[in-house]
Structure 1
Amino acid sequence: MAMTAFRTMMLATMLAGGGMMGATAIAAQKTVMVGGAAMYPTRTIVENAANSRDHTTLVAAVKAAGLADTLSGPGPFTVFAPTNAAFAKLPAGTVDTLLKPDSKDQLTAVLTYHVVPGRVSAADIAAKAKANGGNATYTTVQGEPLTFHKAGTGSKAGWAIMDGKGHMGRITIADVYQSNGVIHVIDTVMLP
Protein backbone atom coordinates (compact mmCIF):
# COMPACT_ATOMS: atom_id res chain seq x y z
CA MET A 1 0.00 0.00 0.00
CA ALA A 2 1.47 3.35 -0.98
CA MET A 3 2.29 5.85 1.77
CA THR A 4 -0.39 8.25 0.55
CA ALA A 5 -3.03 5.53 0.77
CA PHE A 6 -1.73 4.50 4.21
CA ARG A 7 -2.02 8.07 5.49
CA THR A 8 -5.45 8.48 3.92
CA MET A 9 -6.65 5.30 5.63
CA MET A 10 -5.30 6.49 8.98
CA LEU A 11 -6.98 9.91 8.57
CA ALA A 12 -10.27 8.22 7.72
CA THR A 13 -9.93 6.06 10.85
CA MET A 14 -9.38 9.14 12.99
CA LEU A 15 -12.33 10.98 11.47
CA ALA A 16 -14.52 7.93 12.04
CA GLY A 17 -14.03 8.31 15.78
CA GLY A 18 -10.71 6.64 16.51
CA GLY A 19 -8.83 9.78 17.62
CA MET A 20 -6.12 10.08 20.25
CA MET A 21 -6.75 9.28 23.89
CA GLY A 22 -7.41 12.25 26.15
CA ALA A 23 -4.84 13.25 28.76
CA THR A 24 -6.91 11.70 31.57
CA ALA A 25 -7.21 8.35 29.79
CA ILE A 26 -3.48 8.31 28.99
CA ALA A 27 -2.57 9.07 32.61
CA ALA A 28 -4.77 6.17 33.78
CA GLN A 29 -2.81 3.60 31.74
CA LYS A 30 0.02 1.80 33.51
CA THR A 31 3.62 1.84 32.39
CA VAL A 32 4.78 -1.57 31.14
CA MET A 33 8.37 -2.80 30.73
CA VAL A 34 9.28 -4.12 27.27
CA GLY A 35 12.80 -4.98 26.23
CA GLY A 36 14.21 -3.57 29.46
CA ALA A 37 12.61 -0.17 28.94
CA ALA A 38 9.55 1.49 30.37
CA MET A 39 6.81 2.01 27.79
CA TYR A 40 5.19 5.28 28.74
CA PRO A 41 1.54 5.73 27.73
CA THR A 42 2.25 9.43 27.07
CA ARG A 43 4.77 8.64 24.30
CA THR A 44 4.14 7.51 20.73
CA ILE A 45 4.60 4.02 19.38
CA VAL A 46 7.91 4.97 17.73
CA GLU A 47 9.24 6.82 20.79
CA ASN A 48 8.61 3.81 23.03
CA ALA A 49 9.71 1.12 20.56
CA ALA A 50 13.01 2.94 20.01
CA ASN A 51 13.85 2.35 23.69
CA SER A 52 13.14 -1.40 23.67
CA ARG A 53 16.28 -3.48 23.21
CA ASP A 54 13.98 -6.28 21.96
CA HIS A 55 12.71 -4.20 19.02
CA THR A 56 15.83 -2.75 17.38
CA THR A 57 15.20 -4.70 14.16
CA LEU A 58 11.59 -3.53 14.01
CA VAL A 59 12.59 0.10 14.58
CA ALA A 60 15.29 -0.13 11.87
CA ALA A 61 12.73 -1.63 9.49
CA VAL A 62 10.14 1.06 10.25
CA LYS A 63 12.75 3.74 9.53
CA ALA A 64 13.92 2.00 6.32
CA ALA A 65 10.32 1.80 5.08
CA GLY A 66 9.72 5.47 5.83
CA LEU A 67 6.92 4.70 8.30
CA ALA A 68 8.41 6.36 11.41
CA ASP A 69 6.62 9.69 10.85
CA THR A 70 3.30 7.96 10.22
CA LEU A 71 3.58 5.75 13.32
CA SER A 72 4.56 8.85 15.32
CA GLY A 73 1.37 10.57 14.14
CA PRO A 74 -1.96 10.75 15.94
CA GLY A 75 -3.31 7.36 14.85
CA PRO A 76 -4.63 5.49 16.67
CA PHE A 77 -2.82 2.36 15.58
CA THR A 78 -2.65 -1.16 16.94
CA VAL A 79 0.80 -2.62 16.26
CA PHE A 80 1.62 -6.31 16.61
CA ALA A 81 5.33 -5.78 17.25
CA PRO A 82 7.68 -8.68 16.44
CA THR A 83 10.77 -8.93 18.61
CA ASN A 84 14.35 -9.22 17.36
CA ALA A 85 14.09 -12.96 18.09
CA ALA A 86 11.01 -13.14 15.84
CA PHE A 87 12.93 -11.53 12.97
CA ALA A 88 15.84 -13.92 13.64
CA LYS A 89 13.50 -16.90 12.99
CA LEU A 90 13.07 -15.79 9.35
CA PRO A 91 15.25 -17.58 6.77
CA ALA A 92 18.85 -16.37 6.68
CA GLY A 93 19.29 -13.14 4.74
CA THR A 94 15.58 -12.20 4.75
CA VAL A 95 15.95 -9.17 7.03
CA ASP A 96 19.03 -7.91 5.17
CA THR A 97 17.17 -8.22 1.86
CA LEU A 98 14.08 -6.43 3.20
CA LEU A 99 16.18 -3.53 4.51
CA LYS A 100 17.69 -2.83 1.07
CA PRO A 101 16.30 0.30 -0.64
CA ASP A 102 15.04 -1.68 -3.65
CA SER A 103 12.91 -3.83 -1.29
CA LYS A 104 11.08 -0.87 0.28
CA ASP A 105 7.65 -1.83 -1.14
CA GLN A 106 7.97 -5.40 0.13
CA LEU A 107 9.21 -4.18 3.53
CA THR A 108 6.30 -1.73 3.75
CA ALA A 109 3.85 -4.54 2.96
CA VAL A 110 5.32 -6.74 5.72
CA LEU A 111 5.30 -3.93 8.29
CA THR A 112 1.80 -2.65 7.50
CA TYR A 113 0.61 -6.26 7.82
CA HIS A 114 1.42 -5.81 11.54
CA VAL A 115 -0.75 -2.69 11.91
CA VAL A 116 -4.51 -2.53 12.42
CA PRO A 117 -6.31 0.82 12.31
CA GLY A 118 -7.73 1.93 15.65
CA ARG A 119 -6.96 0.89 19.21
CA VAL A 120 -7.59 -2.87 19.66
CA SER A 121 -7.03 -4.21 23.17
CA ALA A 122 -6.73 -7.83 24.26
CA ALA A 123 -10.24 -7.45 25.71
CA ASP A 124 -11.48 -6.34 22.26
CA ILE A 125 -9.87 -9.42 20.69
CA ALA A 126 -11.47 -11.64 23.36
CA ALA A 127 -14.93 -10.13 22.86
CA LYS A 128 -14.72 -10.46 19.08
CA ALA A 129 -13.51 -14.07 19.36
CA LYS A 130 -16.33 -14.91 21.77
CA ALA A 131 -18.88 -13.47 19.34
CA ASN A 132 -17.37 -15.35 16.38
CA GLY A 133 -16.96 -18.93 17.53
CA GLY A 134 -13.51 -18.50 19.08
CA ASN A 135 -11.74 -16.56 16.30
CA ALA A 136 -11.21 -12.83 15.93
CA THR A 137 -10.13 -11.54 12.53
CA TYR A 138 -8.85 -8.02 11.86
CA THR A 139 -7.99 -6.49 8.52
CA THR A 140 -4.54 -4.92 8.56
CA VAL A 141 -3.46 -1.65 6.98
CA GLN A 142 -1.75 -3.82 4.34
CA GLY A 143 -5.21 -5.11 3.43
CA GLU A 144 -5.05 -8.76 4.44
CA PRO A 145 -6.38 -10.33 7.65
CA LEU A 146 -4.76 -11.54 10.84
CA THR A 147 -6.69 -14.13 12.88
CA PHE A 148 -6.53 -14.64 16.65
CA HIS A 149 -7.68 -17.45 18.90
CA LYS A 150 -7.17 -18.39 22.53
CA ALA A 151 -4.23 -20.72 23.09
CA GLY A 152 -2.83 -22.51 26.12
CA THR A 153 -4.29 -23.02 29.56
CA GLY A 154 -3.76 -21.64 33.04
CA SER A 155 -0.78 -19.33 33.39
CA LYS A 156 0.23 -20.16 29.81
CA ALA A 157 -3.09 -18.99 28.36
CA GLY A 158 -2.87 -16.21 25.81
CA TRP A 159 -3.66 -15.27 22.24
CA ALA A 160 -2.29 -17.01 19.19
CA ILE A 161 -1.97 -15.02 15.98
CA MET A 162 -2.10 -16.52 12.49
CA ASP A 163 -1.17 -14.85 9.21
CA GLY A 164 -2.62 -15.50 5.78
CA LYS A 165 0.01 -18.17 5.07
CA GLY A 166 -0.91 -20.15 8.18
CA HIS A 167 2.18 -19.15 10.22
CA MET A 168 1.38 -19.10 13.93
CA GLY A 169 2.75 -16.90 16.66
CA ARG A 170 1.73 -15.66 20.09
CA ILE A 171 1.12 -12.37 21.77
CA THR A 172 3.73 -12.39 24.54
CA ILE A 173 2.95 -8.98 26.04
CA ALA A 174 -0.50 -7.50 25.49
CA ASP A 175 -1.94 -4.02 25.93
CA VAL A 176 1.13 -1.79 25.95
CA TYR A 177 -0.69 1.53 25.60
CA GLN A 178 0.83 4.47 23.76
CA SER A 179 -0.41 8.02 23.22
CA ASN A 180 -1.33 7.07 19.64
CA GLY A 181 -2.43 3.46 20.03
CA VAL A 182 -1.48 0.16 21.56
CA ILE A 183 1.29 -2.37 21.01
CA HIS A 184 1.02 -6.12 21.45
CA VAL A 185 4.46 -7.79 21.44
CA ILE A 186 4.52 -10.94 19.30
CA ASP A 187 7.05 -13.75 18.91
CA THR A 188 6.75 -14.32 15.14
CA VAL A 189 6.91 -12.12 12.06
CA MET A 190 3.60 -12.34 10.22
CA LEU A 191 3.78 -12.54 6.43
CA PRO A 192 1.09 -11.38 4.01
Structure 2
Amino acid sequence: MAEKKCTGDKDSRDVIQYLEDNGYYKFLDLIRAAGLEDELKTAGPFTVFAPTDAAFTSMPSDLYRHLTEDKQFRDNLIKTHILRDVVIMPDVVNDNTVTSLSGVTLRFNKYSPTLYTVDGISMTNPDHVVRNGVVHGINHVIIKKNVTSGEYFATHDSNFRDLFASIIVRGLFHRLSGDAPFTILAPTDKAFEEFRAKLSHIVNNSTLFEDLLKYHIIPRTYYTIGMTHQLKLHTLLQGSDITVTRDSSGLKVNGVPLKTTDISTLNGVVHVIDKVLVPPGLVK
Protein backbone atom coordinates (compact mmCIF):
# COMPACT_ATOMS: atom_id res chain seq x y z
CA MET A 1 0.00 0.00 0.00
CA ALA A 2 1.33 3.45 -0.85
CA GLU A 3 2.40 5.66 2.02
CA LYS A 4 0.47 8.84 2.75
CA LYS A 5 2.26 12.00 3.76
CA CYS A 6 0.76 14.89 5.68
CA THR A 7 -1.29 16.33 2.85
CA GLY A 8 -4.60 16.79 4.65
CA ASP A 9 -5.93 13.30 3.74
CA LYS A 10 -5.82 11.01 6.77
CA ASP A 11 -4.77 7.37 6.29
CA SER A 12 -7.52 5.00 7.50
CA ARG A 13 -4.96 2.63 9.05
CA ASP A 14 -3.90 2.79 12.70
CA VAL A 15 -0.29 3.00 13.85
CA ILE A 16 0.14 -0.78 14.06
CA GLN A 17 -1.30 -1.40 10.60
CA TYR A 18 0.94 1.29 9.13
CA LEU A 19 4.06 -0.23 10.70
CA GLU A 20 3.09 -3.71 9.45
CA ASP A 21 2.46 -2.50 5.91
CA ASN A 22 5.74 -0.59 5.72
CA GLY A 23 8.20 -3.14 7.06
CA TYR A 24 8.99 -1.93 10.57
CA TYR A 25 9.11 -5.55 11.73
CA LYS A 26 11.72 -5.41 14.50
CA PHE A 27 10.10 -2.33 16.04
CA LEU A 28 6.73 -4.09 15.89
CA ASP A 29 8.12 -7.19 17.59
CA LEU A 30 9.40 -5.03 20.43
CA ILE A 31 6.11 -3.11 20.68
CA ARG A 32 4.30 -6.42 21.08
CA ALA A 33 6.83 -7.71 23.59
CA ALA A 34 6.32 -4.52 25.61
CA GLY A 35 2.55 -5.04 25.57
CA LEU A 36 1.82 -1.84 23.66
CA GLU A 37 0.14 -3.21 20.54
CA ASP A 38 -3.46 -2.89 21.78
CA GLU A 39 -2.84 0.62 23.09
CA LEU A 40 -1.48 1.74 19.72
CA LYS A 41 -4.73 0.57 18.10
CA THR A 42 -6.84 2.87 20.27
CA ALA A 43 -7.95 6.39 19.36
CA GLY A 44 -4.75 7.96 20.67
CA PRO A 45 -3.58 10.31 19.36
CA PHE A 46 0.05 9.18 19.20
CA THR A 47 3.28 10.32 17.63
CA VAL A 48 5.57 7.36 16.91
CA PHE A 49 9.24 7.59 15.98
CA ALA A 50 9.73 4.31 14.13
CA PRO A 51 13.27 2.97 13.72
CA THR A 52 13.83 0.88 10.61
CA ASP A 53 14.95 -2.74 10.85
CA ALA A 54 18.39 -1.57 9.75
CA ALA A 55 18.49 0.84 12.70
CA PHE A 56 18.17 -2.07 15.12
CA THR A 57 20.63 -4.22 13.18
CA SER A 58 23.25 -1.46 13.34
CA MET A 59 23.06 -1.15 17.14
CA PRO A 60 26.16 -2.32 19.05
CA SER A 61 25.75 -6.06 19.67
CA ASP A 62 25.93 -5.77 23.46
CA LEU A 63 23.29 -3.03 23.50
CA TYR A 64 20.96 -4.98 21.22
CA ARG A 65 21.39 -8.08 23.40
CA HIS A 66 20.53 -5.95 26.44
CA LEU A 67 17.45 -4.72 24.59
CA THR A 68 16.23 -8.27 23.94
CA GLU A 69 17.09 -9.70 27.37
CA ASP A 70 16.21 -6.90 29.82
CA LYS A 71 12.45 -6.34 29.96
CA GLN A 72 12.56 -3.02 31.82
CA PHE A 73 15.21 -1.58 29.49
CA ARG A 74 13.27 -2.80 26.43
CA ASP A 75 9.92 -1.44 27.60
CA ASN A 76 11.35 1.96 28.52
CA LEU A 77 13.25 2.24 25.26
CA ILE A 78 10.18 1.45 23.16
CA LYS A 79 8.03 3.87 25.18
CA THR A 80 10.67 6.56 24.59
CA HIS A 81 9.78 6.35 20.87
CA ILE A 82 6.09 7.15 21.52
CA LEU A 83 4.29 10.38 22.45
CA ARG A 84 0.68 10.68 23.54
CA ASP A 85 0.18 13.70 21.31
CA VAL A 86 0.53 14.64 17.65
CA VAL A 87 3.66 16.43 16.45
CA ILE A 88 4.15 17.07 12.74
CA MET A 89 7.19 18.74 11.22
CA PRO A 90 5.60 22.09 10.27
CA ASP A 91 4.85 22.60 13.98
CA VAL A 92 8.38 21.90 15.22
CA VAL A 93 10.11 24.76 17.05
CA ASN A 94 13.88 24.52 17.41
CA ASP A 95 14.98 23.13 20.80
CA ASN A 96 11.38 22.41 21.79
CA THR A 97 10.98 19.41 24.12
CA VAL A 98 8.23 16.84 24.62
CA THR A 99 7.71 14.01 27.09
CA SER A 100 7.52 10.43 25.82
CA LEU A 101 5.49 7.55 27.27
CA SER A 102 8.55 6.49 29.27
CA GLY A 103 8.70 9.91 30.93
CA VAL A 104 11.94 10.73 29.13
CA THR A 105 12.19 14.17 27.52
CA LEU A 106 12.89 14.29 23.79
CA ARG A 107 14.27 17.32 21.98
CA PHE A 108 13.38 18.57 18.51
CA ASN A 109 15.75 20.59 16.39
CA LYS A 110 15.26 22.26 13.04
CA TYR A 111 18.61 22.86 11.34
CA SER A 112 17.26 23.75 7.90
CA PRO A 113 13.90 23.86 6.11
CA THR A 114 14.30 20.15 5.33
CA LEU A 115 16.39 18.85 8.24
CA TYR A 116 14.45 18.01 11.39
CA THR A 117 15.79 15.86 14.20
CA VAL A 118 14.57 14.19 17.37
CA ASP A 119 17.41 13.85 19.88
CA GLY A 120 19.85 14.37 17.03
CA ILE A 121 18.35 11.66 14.81
CA SER A 122 17.12 12.76 11.40
CA MET A 123 13.46 12.14 10.67
CA THR A 124 14.16 10.68 7.25
CA ASN A 125 10.59 9.59 6.52
CA PRO A 126 8.34 12.00 8.44
CA ASP A 127 4.72 13.03 8.73
CA HIS A 128 2.72 9.91 7.87
CA VAL A 129 -0.68 10.77 9.31
CA VAL A 130 -2.79 7.73 10.22
CA ARG A 131 -6.16 7.25 11.88
CA ASN A 132 -4.83 7.61 15.43
CA GLY A 133 -1.77 9.79 15.06
CA VAL A 134 1.38 10.25 13.03
CA VAL A 135 4.44 8.11 12.29
CA HIS A 136 7.94 9.46 11.63
CA GLY A 137 10.45 6.99 10.19
CA ILE A 138 13.95 7.31 11.66
CA ASN A 139 17.19 5.52 10.79
CA HIS A 140 18.60 5.18 14.31
CA VAL A 141 17.27 3.98 17.65
CA ILE A 142 16.83 6.74 20.24
CA ILE A 143 19.21 6.09 23.14
CA LYS A 144 18.74 8.76 25.77
CA LYS A 145 20.78 9.66 28.85
CA ASN A 146 18.09 10.46 31.41
CA VAL A 147 20.34 12.98 33.19
CA THR A 148 21.33 16.59 32.63
CA SER A 149 24.74 17.41 31.21
CA GLY A 150 26.01 18.42 34.64
CA GLU A 151 24.80 15.12 36.11
CA TYR A 152 26.39 13.22 33.23
CA PHE A 153 29.83 14.54 34.16
CA ALA A 154 29.17 13.74 37.81
CA THR A 155 28.39 10.11 36.98
CA HIS A 156 31.27 9.72 34.51
CA ASP A 157 34.02 11.22 36.63
CA SER A 158 36.52 8.54 35.61
CA ASN A 159 36.81 10.40 32.28
CA PHE A 160 35.85 13.93 33.31
CA ARG A 161 37.19 14.32 36.85
CA ASP A 162 38.97 17.59 36.04
CA LEU A 163 36.07 18.99 34.04
CA PHE A 164 33.50 18.11 36.71
CA ALA A 165 35.61 19.56 39.51
CA SER A 166 36.16 22.73 37.48
CA ILE A 167 32.43 23.09 36.79
CA ILE A 168 31.70 22.78 40.51
CA VAL A 169 34.42 25.18 41.64
CA ARG A 170 33.47 27.84 39.09
CA GLY A 171 29.78 27.64 40.03
CA LEU A 172 28.59 26.31 36.67
CA PHE A 173 27.07 23.02 37.83
CA HIS A 174 23.65 24.49 38.65
CA ARG A 175 23.51 26.20 35.27
CA LEU A 176 24.44 23.01 33.39
CA SER A 177 21.83 21.05 35.34
CA GLY A 178 18.95 23.38 34.49
CA ASP A 179 16.48 23.40 31.62
CA ALA A 180 18.30 25.68 29.18
CA PRO A 181 19.73 23.76 26.21
CA PHE A 182 23.52 23.55 25.92
CA THR A 183 26.08 21.97 23.65
CA ILE A 184 29.17 21.10 25.66
CA LEU A 185 32.54 20.34 24.11
CA ALA A 186 33.97 18.21 26.91
CA PRO A 187 37.75 17.77 27.22
CA THR A 188 38.90 14.52 28.79
CA ASP A 189 41.15 14.37 31.86
CA LYS A 190 44.10 13.62 29.59
CA ALA A 191 43.40 16.81 27.67
CA PHE A 192 43.35 18.81 30.91
CA GLU A 193 46.66 17.28 32.02
CA GLU A 194 48.37 18.36 28.81
CA PHE A 195 46.78 21.80 28.99
CA ARG A 196 47.80 22.34 32.62
CA ALA A 197 51.44 21.70 31.80
CA LYS A 198 51.47 24.20 28.93
CA LEU A 199 49.22 27.06 30.09
CA SER A 200 49.55 27.32 33.85
CA HIS A 201 48.86 31.09 33.76
CA ILE A 202 45.21 30.31 32.84
CA VAL A 203 44.82 27.50 35.38
CA ASN A 204 46.12 29.72 38.18
CA ASN A 205 43.85 32.66 37.35
CA SER A 206 40.26 32.02 38.41
CA THR A 207 38.76 34.59 36.00
CA LEU A 208 40.68 33.29 33.00
CA PHE A 209 39.89 29.70 33.87
CA GLU A 210 36.17 30.43 34.13
CA ASP A 211 36.36 32.13 30.73
CA LEU A 212 38.07 29.02 29.39
CA LEU A 213 35.25 26.79 30.65
CA LYS A 214 32.59 29.08 29.15
CA TYR A 215 34.35 28.79 25.80
CA HIS A 216 33.42 25.08 25.77
CA ILE A 217 29.69 25.76 26.29
CA ILE A 218 27.30 26.75 23.50
CA PRO A 219 23.80 27.93 24.55
CA ARG A 220 21.93 25.92 21.94
CA THR A 221 21.74 22.26 20.96
CA TYR A 222 24.03 21.26 18.09
CA TYR A 223 24.05 17.58 17.26
CA THR A 224 26.64 16.61 14.67
CA ILE A 225 23.98 16.32 11.97
CA GLY A 226 23.35 20.06 12.35
CA MET A 227 27.01 21.08 12.24
CA THR A 228 27.82 22.40 8.80
CA HIS A 229 31.21 23.36 7.38
CA GLN A 230 32.39 26.78 8.60
CA LEU A 231 29.52 27.05 11.09
CA LYS A 232 30.24 29.58 13.85
CA LEU A 233 29.23 28.42 17.34
CA HIS A 234 28.55 31.31 19.72
CA THR A 235 29.83 30.32 23.17
CA LEU A 236 28.99 31.50 26.68
CA LEU A 237 32.20 33.52 26.53
CA GLN A 238 30.79 36.65 24.94
CA GLY A 239 32.43 37.60 21.66
CA SER A 240 34.34 34.33 21.29
CA ASP A 241 33.12 31.87 18.67
CA ILE A 242 34.20 28.37 17.73
CA THR A 243 34.48 27.36 14.07
CA VAL A 244 33.25 23.99 12.84
CA THR A 245 34.92 22.34 9.86
CA ARG A 246 33.71 19.22 8.11
CA ASP A 247 35.74 17.21 5.60
CA SER A 248 36.52 13.61 4.66
CA SER A 249 38.27 13.07 8.01
CA GLY A 250 35.19 14.11 9.98
CA LEU A 251 34.08 17.01 12.16
CA LYS A 252 36.44 19.36 13.94
CA VAL A 253 36.00 22.35 16.25
CA ASN A 254 38.81 24.89 15.94
CA GLY A 255 40.76 22.13 14.23
CA VAL A 256 40.22 19.62 17.08
CA PRO A 257 38.47 16.36 16.09
CA LEU A 258 35.32 15.31 17.94
CA LYS A 259 36.24 12.07 19.70
CA THR A 260 32.81 10.87 20.92
CA THR A 261 29.72 12.61 19.63
CA ASP A 262 26.00 13.13 20.23
CA ILE A 263 25.70 12.11 23.89
CA SER A 264 22.11 13.22 24.33
CA THR A 265 21.15 14.53 27.78
CA LEU A 266 17.99 16.07 29.20
CA ASN A 267 19.22 19.61 28.57
CA GLY A 268 21.32 19.30 25.45
CA VAL A 269 24.17 17.31 23.99
CA VAL A 270 27.79 16.51 24.86
CA HIS A 271 30.66 15.98 22.42
CA VAL A 272 33.97 14.69 23.80
CA ILE A 273 37.26 16.19 22.64
CA ASP A 274 40.84 15.25 23.50
CA LYS A 275 42.21 18.80 23.60
CA VAL A 276 41.27 21.89 25.61
CA LEU A 277 40.08 24.76 23.41
CA VAL A 278 41.68 28.10 24.21
CA PRO A 279 40.07 31.35 23.04
CA PRO A 280 42.57 33.64 21.27
CA GLY A 281 42.37 36.34 23.91
CA LEU A 282 43.65 34.02 26.64
CA VAL A 283 46.88 33.03 24.92
CA LYS A 284 49.97 34.99 25.93
TM-score (norm 1): 0.69
Residue 170 of structure 2 aligns with an amino acid whose one-letter code is A
**Corresponding residue SS for 2:195:** coil
Structure 1 residue ranges, 4+ long, deviating more than 6 angstroms after superposition: none
Deviation at 1:173, TM superposition (A): 1.0
Aligned: 1:21 with 2:64: no
Residue 85 of structure 1 aligns with an amino acid whose one-letter code is K
Deviation at 1:26, TM superposition (A): 3.2
| Alpha-carbon displacement from aligned partner over 1:18-73 (angstroms, at most 9, x marks no partner) | 66632227368544xxxxxxxx5221111111122111110011111111111111
Q: Is the 8 A contact 1:20 1:181 kept in 2?
A: no
Q: Is the 8 A contact 2:202 2:208 kept in 1?
A: no
Aligned: 1:177 with 2:264: yes
Q: Is the 8 A contact 1:135 1:147 kept in 2?
A: yes
- Aligned match for 1:189, one of 273, 276, 281: 276
**Corresponding residue SS for 1:123:** helix
Residue 146 of structure 1 aligns with an amino acid whose one-letter code is I
In the other structure, the counterpart of 1:71 is 176
- Aligned match for 1:118, one of 202, 220, 231: 220
Aligned residues: 149
Indicate the structure with greater helix content.
1
Q: Is the 8 A contact 2:262 2:271 kept in 1?
A: yes
Deviation at 1:93, TM superposition (A): 7.1
In the other structure, the counterpart of 1:159 is 251
Identity, % of aligned positions: 24
In the other structure, the counterpart of 1:11 is none
Q: Is the 8 A contact 1:78 1:119 kept in 2?
A: yes
Aligned: 1:92 with 2:164: no
CA root-mean-square deviation = 2.4
Aligned: 1:83 with 2:188: yes
Residue 150 of structure 1 aligns with an amino acid whose one-letter code is R
Aligned: 1:60 with 2:165: yes
2 CA distance for matches of 1:55 and 1:95? 19
Which protein, 1 or 2, shows the higher relative CO under an 8 Å CA cutoff with sep ≥ 6?
1
TM-score (norm 2): 0.48
Q: Is the 8 A contact 1:21 1:180 kept in 2?
A: no
In the other structure, the counterpart of 1:138 is 233
